[in-house]
Amino acid sequence: MLVGATALVTGASHRRSGTVCQDFADWQSFDSGATAVGILCDGAGSCAHSDLGAEALCRWAPAWLTNNSEKLWQLSDEELGREIITEARIVLGAISEEHAMQVRELASTLLVAWVRKSDEGLDCRIIHLGDGVAACLSLKGDVTVSVPTRGEFANETIFVPSKGARNTVVVTRGVADPGSGFILMSGGTAESLFLKRLQQLAPACAEMLAWLNDHDSDTVSQALELNLENTLSQKSDDDCSVELLLDQDPQARFEVELEHPDPKPKHPLQSNKDKFTGVLSGWDALISEHYQLQHSLITKTAAREAYLIQPDLPALFELLFQRIEENINPTPSTGVSNWELRQAWDYSEQNDSLEKLLEEHVVKLAAGSQKDNSLTGWYNQIPAASGYASPTSNRKNSIDLVYEIEREKEYAFIELKVCNQAGTPFYATYENLSYGFLYLLTRARHRLRDIFADSPDKPLLRAKKIQLIILAPDSYFNENEQPKSEMKQFEQAIDDALRVFAKSKEPELEMGFEFRQFSNPVSSREDIDSF
């Protein structure tokens, strides 16, 4: 049976500019898995609506190829290439009319793996126009690679609407062994998974295909997304996408190994490492259970799933709070720095974390304005749980920014984000809630409260109002690609539940939640220096 998996993530340059991912990929099987089509399209970065074109082609091609297979399978390679480009242009033409735009604004590349099981093995056609890499990995270890097609000039990419596309598209045909696999990747992914100098695939390609031996499509797609987000997208400014197809044959298990060196990807069953640890251990499982998540908390897929669910937040909040109580050391060795307002700007010149640099910039401005009080009250990296579970646990659990609105009365706990690579709004919400809950526990439980009873240097612990804020540029929320109505509903639900929950733990304290955004560009060190 032919099965597949797919994943795509937004590239670094698009995250910085707030542009949506312009890659799209899809796969479909037909005839009970006897036929499958995998397709990947990379929208032109210079075209504002190329993401629409890429998605439209991916939605259209599998069914069109299958419905016209009797005719198309008999065509020569040249005829098949011209036919699919002609029909693809018709699809884009319809989209351009619907949205009143030029066809060239929908420009996209086209990679297709069309596979059918037969008595001889796996009949296949690889159709390739433009950037990206497509390949067939035979069960015997033979690899057939289709490399990018170029225009008249070396760096000119050919797209479906491009002049000459019908004569440039490349079709590769063949018969592969039962149990073989196919991989399609965009240009961003190919920067890591295709060894250009050797014109060979990286070993990770075979390893990822092998995941489909034992795991279903959703599990493998999740692992692919995590690897794209956490590893491959770090090496490329371009969007990254990948498509896998494998013939799941019990008699011909895919166990191909490619021998040239490249870092190994994570195994699907090892990809869900908990993000909350120490005194927060167990939070990942509780959050995933209540939101019915099938993916790791940090992924965009998990965020999309979560915004559609309306969990019992009072019950979830109580369980999360109880878990902290269960994890806390009966005789906590709390660091003296917990809940101490401070200004830390000891980051090195080599620090490339834009969030850390922005924190540093804000507190430096605050420190420099003490004479006229124009920007005072800003503090950063406030420890919230050091030593609560053990002497060495949760030392990095620090609030990004704290803003003192009125001393000993009102403060804002700010979780600062620059791009979704550092966590989606959903994940950031529970990061900030963890600080809020740790604060509530410190205030509500005498064994913690007594530790700080004689600490006049901790006015934060005498506050009457705490506001939890996710603060980020407009591009961060736009990158999330969620309808504003869903985000607002999510924000309001968290705020409503938190206000009631906080009062139940500390009646004299008011605690709320909100998203806030700013328009200043923060995509480079230079932007931050002029913030």
Helices 300-307 and 283-291 pack at an angle, to 10 degrees, of 50
Is the same domain home to 256 and 325?
no
Which tens digits make up the pLDDT trace of 300-320?
A: 888 888 988 889 999 999 999
- CA 200, 173, 244, 142 torsion-angle sign: negative
Is the same domain home to 262 and 297?
no
Average pLDDT score over residue span 394-420: 87
Is the same domain home to 145 and 34?
yes
Average pLDDT score over residue span 340-365: 71
Partner residues linked to 471 by β-bridges = 416, 516
Label the pairing between strands 35-42 and 110-118: antiparallel
Is the same domain home to 110 and 243?
yes
Which tens digits make up the pLDDT trace of 120-178?
A: 899 999 999 998 999 999 887 788 888 876 544 334 578 999 988 998 999 999 999 99
Q: Is the pLDDT of residue 497 over 60?
A: yes
What's 178's domain CATH number?
3.60.40.10
Nearest-angstrom CA–CA distance, 317 and 61: 46
Which tens digits make up the pLDDT trace of 106-118?
A: 999 999 999 999 9
Please give the residue range of the domain that contains residue 448. Answer: 278-529
Among the candidates 221, 251, 270, a domain finishes at 270
Among the candidates 270, 286, 302, a domain finishes at 270
Token pair for residue 163? 């002049």
Q: Give me the torsion for CA of 74, 79, 82, 83, rounded to 10°.
A: -30
Which tens digits make up the pLDDT trace of 21-63?
A: 889 999 999 999 999 999 999 998 888 889 999 999 999 999 9
204, 185 in Cβ contact below 8 A? no
402, 413 in Cβ contact below 8 A? yes
Is the same domain home to 286 and 228?
no
Is the same domain home to 82 and 98?
yes
pLDDT given for residue 214 in this prediction: 85
Is the same domain home to 299 and 340?
yes
Q: Give me the torsion for CA of 310, 311, 315, 319, rounded to 10°.
A: -140
Q: Report the number of distinct structural domains present in the chain.
A: 2
Token pair for residue 331? 């005789």
pLDDT given for residue 155 in this prediction: 47
Query: Strands, DSSP E only, in 61-217?
Result: 110-118, 121-129, 133-137, 143-146, 170-176, 181-185, 194-195, 200-201
Is the same domain home to 287 and 350?
yes
Is the same domain home to 195 and 311?
no
Range with the lowest mean pLDDT among 16-20, 108-112, 345-349, 511-515? 345-349
Q: What is the largest CA-CA distance in the chain?
A: 85
Distances (CA, A) of 517 to 260, 426, 470, 520: 46, 15, 8, 9
Is the same domain home to 235 and 286?
no
91, 59 in Cβ contact below 8 A? no
pLDDT given for residue 332 in this prediction: 61
For the chain, give the mean pLDDT: 84
Is the same domain home to 284 and 247?
no
Q: Is the pLDDT of residue 3 over 60?
A: yes
Among the candidates 215, 246, 270, a domain finishes at 270
Q: Quick check: helix, strand or coil at residue 260?
A: coil
In a 10 Å sphere around its CB, with 0-12 CB exposed, 13-18 middle and 19+ buried, how is residue 156 labelled? exposed
Partner residues linked to 517 by β-bridges = 472
The single-letter code of the amino acid at 341 is: L
Instruction: Note the helical H segments in 345-467.
Output: 354-368, 425-444, 446-449
Is the same domain home to 98 and 180?
yes
